[in-house]
Structures are given as C-alpha cells and as structure tokens.
Amino acid sequence: SYCSILCNYKAIDMPAHQTYGGSWKFLTFIDLVIQAVFFGICVLTDLSSLLTRGNDSQEQERQLRKLISLRDWMMAVLAFPVGVFVVTMFWSIYIYDRELVYPKLLDNFIPAWLNHGMHTTVLPFVLIEMRTTHHQYPSRSCGLAAVCTFAVGYILWVCWIHHVTGVWVYPLLEHLSPGVKIIFFAAVTVVINIFYLVGEVLNNYIWDTQK
C-alpha cells in the first residue's frame, strides 16, 4: 500500500517536486517513507521468525532479536508519533483553512484517494499494528530525546529551505511573525512528544502483562 502511494505520488508532475528539497521537504512524504520502511521491517521480522522457528542457531536468534529491536524502536520513535502527528495536524488545519496547508490548486495534481492514502489511512494502519503486535518501548528519556531530535531536525530543514529559496514549505508559516514562528515550532515539538507518550501509554494498556 505505501509503496503504491509513494510511486503514484512521485509520478505526479507537480511544480513543488522540481524546487529545492523536492518531495523531501514535506513531512507527509517523509512519513510515507518512514511507514513503508517500518512495515517492510515488520514483514521481514515475521518472515525471519517463521524461518528460524524450531532452529537452535544462536546466531540466527541474535539477528532476529536485533531485527525485533529495530522494529520496536521505529514504531515507538517514528512510525506512531510522526504518523499520528501528520494525520491530526493536517486535518485540523485543513478543516480550519485548507489554503494554509493544502491549497485547492493541489486538487488538480493529487486525486482524493491519494490524499487520503497520505493523510488518513496512516492512522488506522499504525493502530492495527500496535493492537496485533507487542512492541517494547525504549526508556522514556531515550525515546523522547530521539523524537525531539527528529522534530528539531525537520524544523531546521524547513528553515534552511526558506533560507535558500525565500519560500516557506507550508503557506501557514508565511502568515506568522518571527516570534510566533518560534512559539509554533516549540508547540509542534511538544505535541509530537505528547504523541510519543500517548503511544507508550496505549501500548502498555493493550499489552498489560498483568491482565
């Protein structure tokens, strides 16, 4: 599903794809790549688990544990918080004023089904994954530090693109004063950290080993 969405999105002849940063300046695209890689690792983990079942090889068991650790880390730090953030932020701003985040002009390039594939189905997919597979979360301090690093890294990337091109990635930022931008970026970082904590609480609730 994600590979199909990515291929269809990249095939669109959209002016924004030709400017500095290409598709990588949009958090939606970065999130799609994260989700595609994450679920690819999930498939690889399940296949490896099936192939090593009944096998006494300690090396294969060690490699499988590494793969599971990578899957769990990606779920905790990237797939869940970034995925939920993209869905909630996009539709919240879209409902308020779509021109701030997804101008009507884009309807000429992106069909409705692709828009929902990028901004809607991410949430049910990641919730189903959380419900069907137990994920071991890292320590809270390490998890929050990793989420903050991602958030700050993306904010700096957006600022750098504006520095180079003179244009903000999202029209919303054009309407904010420098001081308000700082507050907005700080709020965004706090929100994505809250989503990390929500994921941790939800995971612990679903997989309460004492129940």
Q: What is the pLDDT of residues 75-129, one digit of tens each?
A: 999 999 999 999 999 999 999 988 888 888 888 888 889 889 999 999 999 999 9
State yes or no: pLDDT of 211 exceeds 60: no
Written as six digits, the tokens of 189 are: 């970082």
| SS3 of the chain: helix, strand, coil, percent, to 5 | 80, 0, 20
Q: According to the model, what pLDDT value does residue 101 have?
A: 84
> What's the chain's average pLDDT?
91
Question: Can you tell me the distance from the alpha carbon of 104 to that of 177, in angstroms, rounded to the nearest whole number?
Answer: 24
Beta strands in 7-104 (DSSP E): none
- Decide if 68 contacts 45 (C-beta within 8 A): yes
Q: What is the arithmetic mean of pLDDT over 175-188?
A: 93
Q: According to the model, what pLDDT value does residue 134 have?
A: 92
Q: According to the model, what pLDDT value does residue 144 have?
A: 96
Written as six digits, the tokens of 23 are: 């598709």
Length of the chain: 211
CA nearest to 143, candidates 71, 75, 77: 77
The answer to whether the Cα torsion of 149, 154, 84, 172 is positive or negative is positive
Q: According to the model, what pLDDT value does residue 55 have?
A: 73
Q: What is the arithmetic mean of pLDDT over 33-44?
A: 95
Rounded alpha-carbon distances, angstroms, from residue 23 to 26, 30, 159: 6, 8, 16
